[in-house]
Amino acid sequence: MTQDELKKAVARAAIAQVIEGEIVGVGTGSTANCFIDELARIRDRIRGAVASSEATRKRLEGHGIVVFELNDVAYLPVYVDGADEINTAMQMIKGGGGALTREKIVAAVAQKFVCIADASKLVPVLGAFPLPVEVIPMALGHVRRELARIGGKPQLREGFVTDNGNLILDLGGLVMADPVELESRINQIVGVVSNGLFARRPADICLLGTAAGVKMLTADRTVETEAHGPAAVQPPSSSATSQARGGT
Ligand code: 5RP
C-alpha cells in the first residue's frame, strides 16, 4: 500500500470515532485532509466542526461542513489530527504544517484526541523530525539563542508565517529523553508561543495505517481494527456520552 492509501485508510477508520449529532475538532495536514474528505460523506450526521487552521477551515467549508469558532463551543468530544512523529506513549511531534498552536488549543479543549497516521510516523524516540517552535517575530533572535543554549539547532522556516502572524523555528539536534520536561522548558522561553511537542496532552488513541490494516494503539496496548470496513459514525451511546461529559 502507498503512503497515500494508508492515510486514506486511517481517515476512513477515524469516522467511527466521530460522535453523531456533535461537533468534531479537525486537525491540519495531508492526513487530516483525507479525514475531512471522509467527513464530508457524513456531514448531515454531525453538527459541524472546529478547524485548527485556516486551510482546514477552507476545506471543511468547501465540503459544506459548518465550521464553529472554538470560543462558541463548550463541549468538543473528539479531535482528529495527524502527527509528524508519535511514540508508544502517544506523545507526538506536530506542526510540520505550522498549525501547532491552534492544534494544541483545540486538542486541549477536546475530551479525546484521535491521532491518525501512517506507519512511518511511529518512532521509538521522538526527535528525528525537527521540533517546530512558534515565535513572536520580535523575539526571534532571543528565542533562537535560548534554543541553542539548550542544545538544539534552530532553523528559521523561510517564507512562512503562521495563521497567528508568527514565525516558526524548526529545532533539530535534540535528544528527547523527557518530552514532558522539554515541552515545558521550551514554553518558558519568553517569546515562544508554543512548541510542537504534544507530551503534556498526548493522544488518547492512534489509528495507525499499516500494510496489515489499521491498528488502534493506546499508551498501553494495540488492538486490531476493521481496516477496510464501511465507515460509520458511532451511534450516540448514552452511557459513553455521559462518561465523556464527566458523568457517571
Ligand atoms: C500540521 C501538523 C500535521 O498534523 C503534521 O504535520 C502531519 O501532517 P501530514 O498528515 O501531512 O503528514 O501537525 O501542523
Q: Assess whether 38 carries a catalytic annotation.
A: no
Strands 78-81 and 112-118: parallel
pTM across the whole model: 0.90
- In this structure, the answer to whether residues 136 and 112 fall within a common structural domain is no
Write down the pLDDT at residue 224: 61
- In this structure, the answer to whether residues 219 and 173 fall within a common structural domain is no
Mutate to test the pocket of ligand 1, among 31, 164, 168 (most ligand atoms within 8 A of CB): 31
In percent, the amount of the chain with pLDDT more than 90 equals 88
Q: What is the pLDDT of residues 86-117, one digit of tens each?
A: 999 999 999 999 999 999 999 999 999 999 99
- In this structure, the answer to whether residues 99 and 158 fall within a common structural domain is no
Confidence band for 233, pLDDT divided at 50, 70 and 90: low
- In this structure, the answer to whether residues 116 and 208 fall within a common structural domain is yes
Q: Is 130 in the pocket of ligand 1 (CB under 6 A)?
A: no
Can you tell me the mean pLDDT for 114-129?
A: 97
Q: Please state the residue numbers annotated as binding site.
A: 28-31, 81-84, 94-97, 121
Q: Are the CB atoms for 188 and 201 separated by under 8 Å?
A: no
Confidence band for 41, pLDDT divided at 50, 70 and 90: very high
In percent, the amount of the chain with pLDDT more than 70 equals 90
Measured in Å, residue 220 CA sits from the centre of ligand 1 at 24
Check residues 232 and 151 and name the one with the higher pLDDT: 151
Domain with residue 188: its CATH number is: 3.30.70.260
Dihedral pair phi/psi, residue 141, rounded to 5°: -60, -45
Nearest ligand 1 atom, CA 7? 10
The residue type of 38 is E
- In this structure, the answer to whether residues 52 and 162 fall within a common structural domain is no
**How many helical (H) and strand (E) elements, i.e. helices and strands, does the chain have?**
7, 15
Q: What is the pLDDT of residues 181-225, one digit of tens each?
A: 999 999 999 999 999 999 999 999 999 999 999 999 999 777 666
Measured in Å, residue 93 CA sits from the centre of ligand 1 at 9
Domain with residue 29: its CATH number is: 3.40.50.1360
Write down the pLDDT at residue 242: 35
Measured in Å, residue 20 CA sits from the centre of ligand 1 at 25
- In this structure, the answer to whether residues 109 and 206 fall within a common structural domain is yes
Mutate to test the pocket of ligand 1, among 3, 7, 94, 194 (most ligand atoms within 8 A of CB): 94
- Give every CB contact of residue 199 below 8 A, 6+ residues apart in sequence: 89, 91, 92, 179, 180, 182, 183
Q: Given CA atoms 153, 118, 53, 23 in this order, what sign does their dihedral have?
A: negative
The count of structural domains within the chain is 2
For residue 147, the enclosing domain spans 131-195
Q: Is 8 in the pocket of ligand 1 (CB under 6 A)?
A: no
Share in percent of the chain as helix, strand, coil (round to 5) = 35, 25, 40
* Domain C-terminal end among 155, 174, 195: 195
Within the chain, residue ranges assigned H as helices are 3-14, 30-40, 54-62, 100-109, 140-149, 179-187, 238-244
- In this structure, the answer to whether residues 159 and 60 fall within a common structural domain is no
Write down the pLDDT at residue 225: 62
Nearest ligand 1 atom, CA 33? 10
Strands 167-172 and 153-156: antiparallel
Q: What is the mean pLDDT of the chain?
A: 91
